Amino acid sequence: MLLSIIIPAYNEANFIHDVIRRVQETPYEKEIIIVDDGSVDGTRDILKGLTDPNITVVLQEVNQGKGAALREGFARAKGDIVIIQDADLEYDPRDYPKLLEPILEGKADVVYGSRFLGGPHRVLYFWHYVGNMGVTLLSNMFTNLNLTDMETGYKVFKREVLKDIKIESNRFGFEPEITAKIAKKRCRVFEIPISYYGRSYEEGKKITWKDGIKAFFTILKHNLFR
């Protein structure tokens, strides 16, 4: 089994070394594909200095968003299983074994890592939690899935699931878009509890309430008009 780990990164100079190290420490045959999304804080210089032959670095000239970075990463993935790893260390690569287990056992095509199923997590913003529950509920109403955390950053796919899916969203709309599309493909979806070490805005968190509003319209777009 070859595991393709896609790391979208934007202005993560303080964390990129650690996330690469933690991913490399996972016990799998793997390729690491890092897509820098127009960083201006020195992240690009760090990535240009990497020499590991198992790491592919893609440098996007301007910031386009997480969806655009993942689109580039998916296009280069060669592994049997593809996992998304955010570059900010909110998600812990030590959770890979339990995320991969349903796919390796032949029970799932897609696995979501849920922050709300009982794993340890940092206590942060109440209204973020409410917003997450709202967009997850709306998504579930259209997809007929009973997810607890549609917006999770940890999503794992058999590569064949992604082959004929075209990602249209450039930014955080990727999450509801991919959820709508795997539901329409009738993929077998599992959720697994994960640990979550959320960041504050002072520490570099990027998603805002505006992305929640956009998620609402993305859910309508990809469930009603596609």
Position 210 scores a pLDDT of: 73
Position 202 scores a pLDDT of: 62
Closest CA to 205 of 197, 217, 193, 195: 197
Position 203 scores a pLDDT of: 62
Range of the domain at 149: 3-224
Position 99 scores a pLDDT of: 98
Phi–psi pair at 225, nearest 5 degrees: -120, 15
pTM exceeds 0.85 for this model: yes
Could you tell me which residues come within 8 angstroms of residue 120 by beta carbon, excluding any fewer than 6 positions away?
Answer: 195, 196
Position 223 scores a pLDDT of: 83
pLDDT 10s digits, 96-131:
999 999 999 999 999 999 999 887 776 667 877 788
Position 104 scores a pLDDT of: 97
Low-confidence ranges of the chain (pLDDT < 50): none
Position 129 scores a pLDDT of: 77
Domains held by the chain: number:
1
Helix (H, G, I), strand (E, B) or coil at 36: strand
CATH code of 45's domain: 3.90.550.10
Position 220 scores a pLDDT of: 86
Give the torsion through C-alpha atoms of 59, 62, 66, 72, to 10 deg: -40
Position 199 scores a pLDDT of: 58
Position 221 scores a pLDDT of: 86
For residue 87, the 8-state DSSP code is T
